[in-house]
A and B are shown apart, each in its own frame.
Chain A
């Protein structure tokens, strides 16, 4: 931030009711040590980073470190873990749970919970199968209708929560049971319906852009897009006279992103190419992140997570935002359900059950979304689901059965919430909670 407008402590406020503000401004050159004055250039960036870490603002650091440790352990146990094939398979497998986790992030931002997402995802897969395979409906129409079943389910949950005032926990617990029964009902006696292996849903996880240019092109576009948007944003900020990031910082961030993006692209190209599922997932993350941080709708979601009363007084339609967030959660549950059905090219009675719900919620939380509302990003879903899928695949490579997987995933989740609680305490003492 700029130094020129800062001044001494607010302890001597009378000094500032002056006839000549220009002279006063020039006279006050001492910088209040409490002001967060950021030095220019890279050094300033580093000190800012240190200050944030010290005050408990860890962001994604714990989960990234955790991910590195998990990968290191599994690589040392089995050299197949860090191969292009395994990593590529993992990235496709994570999309289903990841999509559901994106919806969960929205709900967690309100400080609420949605327990129905597993069942709703199962309903979406079953709806598509029944409409398309059993009744021969056009597959695109069936695809859209299947996603809309999730939206409708979410609106129903949101209605009972926002309008009637039933706790979200109870509403979505009822939803969990109801939608699971609904899925079993529409699947009927035969239980499993196989999908057309060349159909649109099956293609979701089986299609790869095999041309190497696709992955590199996407990496280049993402990197260039990031650089341009932050460069132009900073230029606008400078022109408006508000604090902006130094160019060096933008460059460092862009280079880091480029290294990451091209590494991933190289890995994909060593196997089957760029998976369609990953492209869709990244697009969803970019769009949802934009909606949450750059639109007034997103601002309303965060505001509700901070203080419902303040939001109401600011003229926000609390009920509408609540219903819409549950609708979003239901919609992403349905999208995730279609990706999961795509993975096995079938809709069966077990869909949406097992550890899916817990994994989706754990992914959002492990990624760094606060359980108490108002803090989080949809990118958290990506990091969290990477951790969970890494554990699943790593243990599967070792031939360790699912009971142990559950216990380890549970342990990781516990570690995450412990870190969350501890950093929250640090933040409180540092006055930033």
Chain B
């Protein structure tokens, strides 16, 4: 089902970002094609969130080039990213508990008819959208508060699909979810790929990454530390890239005990 086109939807070339004295990103390269799920992994502080925010237009880049469909583009504010067709689903869900599913899906872009909310049309399209994504929730007319965490996450992702984005960025979509709910969200990620969206998935969970991602891009201390094909790479290889191949907690302990042993 994966059709990878020649030109990447999004390509970052030598992107750098500085916050005062901190060099958050250094010469980062990243390519995402249509119908491809790229997992972005790295330790805490590796620059994953910063990288995502530069793509989403929250933090404009200092150096480097962002290419969109092969053209060089400027992304200076969130609006620029949205106009290009980039949708971002942040870790903390941007949903209103007291409003029903339809209201949340269309929050900020309500369909109006002669100045009045067209609830019927919004409900019809909501059901259509949720059906095509095979999202099942008790009713589209109950408040978000009544939904489980996984259902909320799927609604949040569905919400990002309304603008027909070419690229969807998911920031730790399964971080706070149980097993069952994680499965729901991962299914949804696969469906996004089947529909030809490019997906960037940030995750700490290697099992999730192995399950849905096509490629894994590893960041370490703000720099690229390898891009792996998921199918041909073992989990250990990815983890050692994340932690720094020869420098991780296990090797350090091993080195220490060896050192003590040899004394």
A295:B107 contact, CB within 8 angstroms: no
C-alpha spacing A302/B98, complex, angstroms: 8
C-alpha spacing A379/B103, complex, angstroms: 21
A299:B99 contact, CB within 8 angstroms: yes
Proximity bits, A283-308, B CB within 8 Å = 1, else 0: 00000000000111001001101110
B98:A305 contact, CB within 8 angstroms: yes
Most buried by B among A13, A35, A302, A432: A13
Within 8 A of B (CB), among A3-40: 5-7, 10-11, 13-14, 16-17, 32, 34-36
C-alpha spacing A14/B110, complex, angstroms: 33
Known contacts A296-B112, A299-B117; is-contact A36 B139 (Cβ 8 Å)? yes
User: Which residues of B have CB within 8 Å of A5?
Assistant: 127, 131
Number of A-B contacts (CB under 8 A): 108
C-alpha spacing A299/B117, complex, angstroms: 9
Known contacts A307-B95, A310-B96; is-contact A315 B108 (Cβ 8 Å)? yes
Known contacts A17-B190, A303-B99; is-contact A314 B108 (Cβ 8 Å)? yes
C-alpha spacing A217/B236, complex, angstroms: 80
Chain A: which residue is nearest B88 at the CB level? A313
B107:A303 contact, CB within 8 angstroms: yes
Determine how close the nearest CB of chain B comes to the CB of A54; give it in whole angstroms. Answer: 14
B184:A299 contact, CB within 8 angstroms: no
* Other-chain residue from B115, B120, B138, B183 in contact with A35 (beta carbon distance below 8 A): B138
Query: A433 an interface residue at 8 Å Cβ cutoff?
Result: yes
Proximity bits, B57-73, A CB within 8 Å = 1, else 0: 00000000000000000
C-alpha spacing A316/B103, complex, angstroms: 14
C-alpha spacing A11/B184, complex, angstroms: 8
Query: A431 an interface residue at 8 Å Cβ cutoff?
Result: yes
B99:A306 contact, CB within 8 angstroms: yes
Proximity bits, B116-145, A CB within 8 Å = 1, else 0: 110111011001000100101011011101
User: Which residues of A have CB within 8 Å of B190?
Assistant: 17
A242:B123 contact, CB within 8 angstroms: yes
C-alpha spacing A295/B117, complex, angstroms: 5
Chain A: which residue is nearest B143 at the CB level? A432
B96:A14 contact, CB within 8 angstroms: no
B191:A311 contact, CB within 8 angstroms: no
Most buried by A among B90, B108, B138: B108
User: Which residues of A have CB within 8 Å of B191?
Assistant: 17
* Other-chain residue from B92, B108, B142, B187 in contact with A14 (beta carbon distance below 8 A): B187
C-alpha spacing A423/B95, complex, angstroms: 23
B184:A295 contact, CB within 8 angstroms: no
Query: A1 an interface residue at 8 Å Cβ cutoff?
Result: yes
User: Which residues of A have CB within 8 Å of B99?
Assistant: 299, 302-303, 306, 374
Most buried by A among B90, B92, B120, B131: B120
Query: B7 an interface residue at 8 Å Cβ cutoff?
Result: no
* Other-chain residue from B95, B127, B150, B180 in contact with A242 (beta carbon distance below 8 A): B127
B139:A7 contact, CB within 8 angstroms: no
Q: Classify the interface of chain A: helix, strand, loop or mixed.
A: loop
B96:A311 contact, CB within 8 angstroms: yes
User: Which residues of B have CB within 8 Å of A374?
Assistant: 96-99
Known contacts A5-B127, A310-B94; is-contact A299 B139 (Cβ 8 Å)? no
User: Which residues of A have CB within 8 Å of B141?
Assistant: 1, 243
C-alpha spacing A238/B107, complex, angstroms: 24
Within 8 A of A (CB), among B143-185: 143, 145-146, 150, 180, 183-184
Query: A309 an interface residue at 8 Å Cβ cutoff?
Result: yes
C-alpha spacing A16/B183, complex, angstroms: 13
User: Which residues of B have CB within 8 Å of A16?
Assistant: 134
Chain B: which residue is nearest A38 at the CB level? B139
B94:A313 contact, CB within 8 angstroms: yes
User: Which residues of B have CB within 8 Å of A375?
Assistant: 98
C-alpha spacing A375/B183, complex, angstroms: 33
* Other-chain residue from B96, B121, B131, B180 in contact with A302 (beta carbon distance below 8 A): B96
User: Which residues of A have CB within 8 Å of B109?
Assistant: 314-315
User: Which residues of A have CB within 8 Å of B134?
Assistant: 13, 16-17
A35:B139 contact, CB within 8 angstroms: yes
* Other-chain residue from B107, B121, B138, B142 in contact with A310 (beta carbon distance below 8 A): B107
User: Which residues of A have CB within 8 Å of B108?
Assistant: 311, 314-316
User: Which residues of B have CB within 8 Å of A315?
Assistant: 108-109
Additional pairs, 11, CB under 8 Å, beyond known A36-B139, A302-B96, A374-B98: A10-B184, A13-B187, A237-B123, A299-B99, A299-B110, A303-B96, A303-B99, A307-B95, A311-B107, A315-B108, A432-B145
**Measuring CB to CB, which residues of chain B are less than 8 angstroms from any residue of chain A?**
90, 92-99, 103, 107-110, 112, 115-117, 119-121, 123-124, 127, 131, 134, 136, 138-139, 141-143, 145-146, 150, 180, 183-184, 187, 190-191, 194
User: Can you identify 27 A-B contacts, CB atoms within 8 angstroms?
Assistant: A1-B139, A10-B150, A13-B134, A13-B184, A17-B187, A34-B138, A36-B138, A36-B142, A237-B123, A240-B121, A241-B124, A242-B124, A294-B116, A294-B117, A299-B99, A299-B103, A303-B99, A303-B103, A309-B92, A310-B96, A374-B96, A374-B98, A431-B145, A431-B146, A432-B142, A432-B143, A432-B146
